Chains A and B, each alone.
Chain A
Amino acid sequence: MTLRRGFKAEAEREAARVRKELGLASHDRLDPRDLAKHLSVSIVDSGELVDVTELEDLERLQAFAFSAATFEIEQRKIIVVSPLRNTGRQNSDIAHELAHVMLKHDLSEIREVDGMPFRTCKPDEEEEATAFGGTLLLPRPLLLSAARRQASIEQIANQYDVTVEMARFRYNTTGVAKQAMSR
């Protein structure tokens, strides 16, 4: 599965545009909760809605079985996050969900077939949301400035409140290390 041609560049442009709207410089940390507010999307902790022990039971059955969801109720968009995730991962989850909203993806859903619930999922849309979500949190100019001051992956993760995996993924796939060296 590959992203459609031009998607990454579009994502960078869109991330830059939305940062401007929020009054952030290209190298500033973006709090996805601020972005949610800007987009009139509410964020609710799933622990307020269901028993946390039920979420823990599900987690025991399968790690990361559930992380976040976006509901649309009476034209209001509401993102529900799991309290079992750390801040970095919650930020990724929220950014991913906001990406779906900004990209105007249709709702995927749990659909029952013969009484059996199935997850319906459009793999290309999931991939787009993951790519765009990462771009919102760590756009290329931000990573380039980090690379120029020789920040480590861990330092980037710490400074911008993202997971180390996310920092590594964005750092490596944007090729900023090479660009910083070639100067």
Chain B
Amino acid sequence: MDDVTGASDTSASVEGLDLARLGEMLRERRGKLSLRQAAAEAGVSFSTFTRVEAGAQPDLTSFTLLCAWLGVSPGQFFAPVIERQVAPIDEAIAHLAADPRLAPDAASKIADVLRNMYDVLAKAPAQRQVVACHLRAASVLRPGVPHRLNSLLGEMHDKLAARVAGGEL
């Protein structure tokens, strides 16, 4: 049933980083060490260690340090990207073509309509730009925050660039 309901599209895979597993591994590796001792060993701050153990996302430097302390590759925490072999519209059209209730001509007419609508309505995947800026923000971010923050910063940057170009700033 999973492939039909799209159950793979959970918030965890949207976020793309297995923070729960990272937190779990930190707790296991820490064992009887205090949070303070473990943080000192790993070379991150006490608050960063505590929050990441509880499932928050560390900044890049802390993430690298924590992975090194765990002795694992940072890559293992990234959810594997589920690659679509067939575009969704082609898949839908293939289903129509295979429907015994539709004559080939009818299936092709619906397919044409679908393809036209899809071309008009489907949005190109959002180009996420990497924004260079100094950021006064929490050093440890909760799940869901990095993507939103990134897109907000991108929006701010674009608006500011337009204002600078327009001589307003």
Contact = CB atoms under 8 A, between A and B. Distances in A.
Interface residues of B, number: 43
A131 interface: no
Nearest to B139: A121
Contacts of B147: 117
Contacts of B45: 1, 123
Do most interface residues of chain A lie in helix, strand or loop, or is the interface mixed?
mixed
A39 B153 CA distance: 23
A34 to B, nearest CB: 18
Q: Which of A49, A93, A115 gathers the greatest number of chain B CB atoms within 10 Å?
A: A49
A174 interface: no
B145 A62 contact: yes
A58 B149 contact: yes
Interface stretch (A4-12, A17-25, A71-79, A153-161): A71-79
Contacts of B75: 114
Interface of B: 15-17, 45, 57, 59-61, 63, 74-75, 78, 81, 128, 130-139, 141-142, 144-150, 152-153, 155-157, 159-161, 164, 169
Interface of A: 1, 42, 44, 46, 48-50, 54-55, 57-58, 61-62, 64-74, 76, 78, 80, 93, 96-97, 100, 105, 107-123, 126
